[in-house]
Each structure stands twice: as structure tokens, then as C-alpha cells.
Amino acid sequence: MTDDVGDRLVRLVRRSDADLAEMALLCATGCAPGLDLDRELLRLDALADSIRTRPPDPDPGVPIASMLRDHLGRRLGFAGEPARYHDPDSSLLHRVLETRQGLPITLSIVYVAVARRLQWPAYAIGLPGHVVVGVAEGGHPTVLDPYHGGILLDEPALIDRVASTTAGRVTFRRSMLRPTPAVSVARRLLNNLTRDLTRADRLAEARWTVEVKLALPNRQPQDHRDLGSLSMRTGSFDVAADAYERFLELTEGDTPQRHEARRAAIEARARLN
């Protein structure tokens, strides 16, 4: 990870008005070194313009949420494709803009980014296991699910969605509909990339995503352990040893994770000799 990407991302996610599209594109640069962020942001400007220049709707009472759903979901076909759920491209915003297929989080970022360019009050909602979009209109948020073509979710549907994505372990609460901070959206997106790049054996890129997470304000001890594992697998034994030892410094207790990290740190140091 370059210092420029890390610094720019950290500055961005600290802002209350952060552009989630810019954030997502910065998170993608480790998989696309020549990515032209300005060009990709212009593509989102064009999507917003395509709504702005549409003929007036005959029903002036059509809410913002419905306009987003009708244009992005129904007319342009932005939606999820279950067969590509673990394809890293589904977490890379520039690829989602090309294919119009992505994960709930990347599709929600498209919706929010387009709405914000139209000065519409939309925001990401990080439900357990599924990201959706809230639009603040009429005194309470209207919720859309971009992964399913932008369908509107009422409270019974939200209850069902949370229950299904968590296998019944979590119960929906209205407090879940609060806007999710940009830094949390960034981490969630990077977690998906780490997982799917590792599954695809794209280990150098997966390691890059962990390095980005470690630059964020909400970094976690587990990030050091993940960096150690990926560094071992890519032959960077010095980085691996330092990462495992840092994990041990930040954690405590007699846990399997700490025992494993201690053994891995010793092995990494041994392989340096």
C-alpha cells in the first residue's frame, strides 16, 4: 500500500460527508494499480445526470427511493448475482460499474453515491450480513435493497432479511437503520476483499487489503494476525514475525489464537535464519 492511498483514505473516512464511491475506489487500487479514480467518479456523475435529465415523472409524489430503484435497478439492471458472490470483482467498484453486478455493499455504494450527487439524503445501512440503503424522507427512512434490484423493504421484510442473513442469530431492531459511518463501510468492504482474494489465491492483493485495514482508525488485533498469515504464505517472513508478535502484544488470555500466533511467530523467525 502506498502512503498516498492510505493517507487519502484515512482523511476521507473521517469526514461525515465522505464520498463512499471515492472510498471504495481507493480500496480497489491494490487490485488495479492503474485505476483512474477521476474517470470512475465521472461515471457516477454520468449516472446521476441520467436521472437528472429524465423527463419529469407524471406523479410528482414519487419518492426519491422509488426513483433510485426504478432507474438503477429496473432500467439499468444494477443487482446481485449469487453465482458471483465470492468473485473479488463483486467488491471492486470499477468492475461493478462495468458489469452492473456486485455485492450488497458495492451496489449500495453505487446507490448512495448517485443519490448524493443529486443532493438526495441517502446513506448506507450496515445490517448484520447485508448492506442496504436508507433514504431520509417523510420523517422516517425508506429502505432499499440494491442487491435485489432496489426493492423497498418495510419492517416485516427487514425482520425477515436480518433473520435470513444471520441464520436467526440476530433480531432486527429499528436502531439498525442508523447511517453506517464511512470508516465502517470501508472496513466491511475490505473484509470482503480479504476473504475473496484469499479464496482466489491472490495472496499479494489480499495482503494489501489487510495493510489498508491496519491504516484505518478502526483497525483490530486480528488484522495483524491476518497480515502474519498472508505474509508467511508469500514468503515475507520478517513481516510475518513482526505481525504475529504485534498480535500477541495487543491480545491477552490463554486462547487457541494466541497459541497459534506464538508458534507462527517462532516459525517465521526461524525461517529468517
- Tell whether 273 is covered by a domain: yes
pLDDT tens, position by position, 148-183: 999 999 999 999 999 999 999 999 999 999 999 999
pLDDT tens, position by position, 23-35: 999 999 999 988 9
pLDDT > 70: percent of the chain = 96
Number of domains in the chain: 2
Same domain? 229 vs 116 = no
- Cell numbers 490463554 correspond to 254
Cβ contact 247:261 at 8 Å? yes
Same domain? 109 vs 230 = no
Same domain? 154 vs 67 = yes
- Tell whether 12 is covered by a domain: yes
- Tell whether 184 is covered by a domain: no
pLDDT tens, position by position, 240-255: 999 999 999 999 999 9
The Cβ of residue 21 has, within 10 Å, a number of other Cβ atoms equal to 25
Range of the structural domain that residue 236 is part of = 220-273
Closest CA to 122 of 139, 106, 109: 109
Of the listed ranges 136-150, 165-179, 205-219, the least confidently predicted one is 136-150
Residue 56 above 70 pLDDT? no
- Tell whether 187 is covered by a domain: no
- Which grid cell sits at 164? 435470513
Residue 58 above 60 pLDDT? no
- Domain end point (choices 146, 177, 208): 177
Cβ contact 101:81 at 8 Å? yes
- Domain end point (choices 126, 143, 177): 177
